[in-house]
Structures are given as structure tokens and as C-alpha cells.
């Protein structure tokens, strides 16, 4: 408005028409950017969803293992609750190692490093539990995570997926990032009513009761491409 008012006041124009292509010249380059979906076949990387005071955002959970003494290394300026979620996720993977066909020897003499990029931004809350569990399971089973899937939910040591808040903001963030499938706790199904109709029609939602549901949906075999047929318990609204 100031740009248009100045042009009119200077007598250059009586009317000013502004298109999207004019915004860079008027406002300058973008000061903020949203995360975009990451396409990778590297095991150990999962896409989580976060709530912020100004809306939702996606976040990447990266896991790797190096020679060490069995430590869990956490980086990315994580809060205490998020650190507890990471510890719970690793403990659950170890407890389920036999069911997941993970040799116990893979845990011997290694440190597990779990990192959430954008380390300058404080992060906390339990809702990254599912994404952390999937990232760690992907790492130890060598099965990449489907790149078009985002997830949210708290996990328990029994493998249950517990409800979390900010579902509307998180799903809108996933849609904005180009993701079309979202894993969320089954007990958050009621929150889907708050979504815009266009978002409900464009997205697929996978309701999770347990961590096993997340594994079946999010992980794929090395060298394969994710397809819609991999998705079970899909709720299309």
C-alpha cells in the first residue's frame, strides 16, 4: 500500500496494479522459508511435524550410528521432553529388535546419534516420538522411509501411539511442504474435522494405534519406490 501510495502521490500513476511478479522488487527477497519435503533413499531420515506459535512446520529427524560405547547422542537444541521421547524411541527399538529382525550385535559398540536440524531453534514436546522411532527403525533395518510421508504422535514403551495437539496446524504444514500422506494417532481422528475441506480432500491420513502400524506404513524395502498400495488403514475424507 505504501508503494502504491508513493507512486500516486508523486504523480507517476493514478492507479497502481500489483501482480505477484512485482513483490520481490517492492518487498525485497524472502526473509523466511518453509521446509520442503525431502526426497532421499538414505535410511535413518524421517519427516516429523511440529506445532509453533505461528502455525505448523515440518522437521527432519536424522539418525546415524558410529563406533562408540552405547551412548545416545542428541543434538538440535532439544528440550527435556523431546530428549525423553528419543530415549523411549531407542529403548522401544531395542526391545522390539527380535520382531524387527535386527541382530542384537548391531547395538554393540556403537553410539546412536539423533539430530534434528535447525539447531538454533529450540524444540520440545512429545509429538516427535513416532518420527524418532521410525528414523531409528529405518536406520537399524536399512529400510528407507517413504519420502512422501509425514508423521506425528507420542509413543509409549508398550509401543502405543498416544494423541498429541496441534493437528490442524501440523497437517497444513505437511500440505504446504508438498506431502500428501500423514500418520497420526488414531485418537486424534476427531481433530480432522477442523481441517479445511480442500485439505481433507487432498490428503490421505493413516491412523495409528501402535508403532507397528507406523512401521508397516512408513518404511519400505531398500531399492523400492513407495506406492499407494503400501498404505494400510488409510482414511480418505
Our answer to whether residue 29 is catalytic in this structure is no
Contacts of 76 by beta carbon, 8 Å cutoff, 6+ apart: 115, 116, 117, 118, 119, 123
For residue 201, what pLDDT is reported?
92
Grid coordinates representing 217 are: 506404513
CA nearest to 48, candidates 136, 140, 142: 136
**Catalytic member of 123, 138, 168, 170:** 170
Residue 141 CA to residue 99 CA, distance in Å, equals 11
pLDDT in tens, 59-72: 999 999 999 999 99
List per-block mean pLDDT (blocks of 10 residues) for the chain, which spans 237 residues: 88 87 82 54 89 85 94 94 96 95 92 86 89 96 91 96 95 91 96 93 95 92 50 41
Per domain, the residue ranges of the chain are 1-31, 32-235
What is the CATH number that goes with domain 32-235? 3.30.230.10
For residue 147, what pLDDT is reported?
84
* CB-based contact 197:203 (threshold 8 Å): no
What's this model's pTM, rounded to 2 decimal places?
Answer: 0.80
For residue 20, what pLDDT is reported?
87
**Catalytic member of 85, 123, 127, 168:** 127
pLDDT in tens, 121-152: 788 889 999 999 999 999 999 999 988 899 99
Phi, psi at residue 122, to the nearest 5°?
-60, 140
From residue 45, give the alpha-carbon distance in Å to each of 53, 140, 223.
25, 12, 15
For residue 163, the 8-state DSSP code is P
Written as one string, the DSSP assignment of 34-70 is: ---------TTEEEEEEEETTEEEEEEEEEEEEESSS
For residue 204, what pLDDT is reported?
94
For residue 96, what pLDDT is reported?
94
Our answer to whether residue 127 is catalytic in this structure is yes
Residue 202 CA to residue 183 CA, distance in Å, equals 15
Amino acid at each position: 500500500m505504501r508503494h502504491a501510495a508513493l507512486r500516486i502521490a508523486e504523480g507517476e500513476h493514478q492507479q497502481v496494479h500489483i501482480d505477484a511478479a512485482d513483490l520481490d522488487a517492492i518487498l525485497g527477497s524472502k526473509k523466511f522459508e518453509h521446509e520442503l519435503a525431502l526426497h532421499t533413499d538414505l535410511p535413518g531420515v524421517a519427516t516429523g511435524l511440529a506445532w509453533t506459535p505461528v502455525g505448523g512446520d515440518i522437521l527432519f529427524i536424522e539418525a546415524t550410528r558410529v563406533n562408540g560405547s552405547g551412548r545416545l547422542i542428541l543434538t538440535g537444541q532439544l528440550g527435556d521432553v523431546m530428549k525423553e521421547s528419543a530415549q523411549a524411541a531407542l529403548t522401544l527399538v531395542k526391545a522390539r529388535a527380535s520382531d524387527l529382525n535386527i541382530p542384537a550385535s548391531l547395538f554393540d559398540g556403537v553410539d546412536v546419534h539423533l539430530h534434528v536440524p535447525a539447531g538454533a531453534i529450540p524444540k520440545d514436546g512429545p509429538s516427535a516420538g513416532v518420527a524418532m522411532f521410525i528414523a531409528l527403525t529405518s536406520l537399524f533395518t536399512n529400510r528407507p522411509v517413504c519420502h512422501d510421508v509425514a508423521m506425528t504422535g507420542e509413543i509409549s514403551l508398550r509401543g502405543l501411539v498416544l494423541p498429541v495437539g496441534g493437528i490442524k496446524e501440523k497437517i497444513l504444514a505437511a500440505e504446504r511442504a508438498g506431502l500428501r500422506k500423514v500418520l497420526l494417532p488414531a485418537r486424534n481422528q476427531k481433530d480432522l474435522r477442523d481441517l479445511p475441506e480442500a485439505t481433507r480432500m487432498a490428503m490421505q491420513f493413516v491412523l495409528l494405534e501402535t508403532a507397528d502400524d507406523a512401521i508397516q506404513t512408513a518404511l519400505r524395502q531398500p531399492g523400492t519406490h513407495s506406492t499407494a498400495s503400501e498404505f494400510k488403514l488409510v482414511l480418505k475424507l
